[in-house]
Amino acid sequence: MFVPNPDHGFARRAIDLAVAGIATVALAPLMLLIAGALLLEGGGSILFAQTRIGAGGRTFRMYKFRKFGVNCGSQGLALTVVGDTRMTTVGRFLAATKLDELPQLWNVLKGEMAIVGPRPESLAFADCFRGELRAVLQYKPGLLGPAQVVFRHEAHYFPQSEDPIVFYREVMFPAKATLDLSYYPRRTIVSDLAWMVRGVLAVVGWVPVPPIDV
């Protein structure tokens, strides 16, 4: 098990709290609208909670707005692919806009996640952290970061002719982890702030790919 990198520090934590706090207040009406839409569409829980792998390999419960039907449970793939029949109409909108990630502001406020960091993996892919890629576990997972911006439309990368689980393990996970490891050891607060802006731009449709060390 890796020891979490201490470089997150007080300044980054203060920025995380400020950004998450302001975003929670500013986006509260939108989150209420999403919750209402989910309730009207099918009832049941509006949130999806899943155990994810955090800094140092410790696990935590990560929250999302529910994208799948209320009866799906844990059935099916551990990934969301294009045309996933488990998604509801509201769920497809949430997936396309990334608004399903908004409840993770609570994870940031709790200190389990950061605004900028590697995306936390589900337990289904815990074994992917091997060799040099285990070093990703040094860093606090985040809402967004270089890998999330570059692979903004991740579901579209999966070839229809290949098993998506195998493709994710052998291609997507190593690509994202390598991208993370090229950035986070050299990150600065200024570059983190820049990636926050790029993350917002990626959500609204522009996916900039500047040098990773910027």
Q: Is the pLDDT score of 105 beyond 90?
A: yes
For the segment 154-195, what is each residue's pLDDT rounded down to a tens digit?
888 888 888 889 999 999 999 999 999 999 988 999 999 999
Q: What share of the chain is helix, strand, coil (3-state, %, to 5)?
A: 55, 10, 35
**In contact, 132 and 33? CB cutoff 8 Å:** no
Cα distances (angstroms) measured from residue 3 to each of 56, 112, 134: 5, 15, 11
Question: Residue 56 has what DSSP assignment?
Answer: G
Helix 9-42 crosses helix 189-203 at what angle (to 10 degrees)?
A: 20
Chain length of the chain: 214
Backbone dihedral angles phi then psi of residue 110, each to the nearest 5 degrees: -75, -15
- pLDDT reported for residue 208: 54
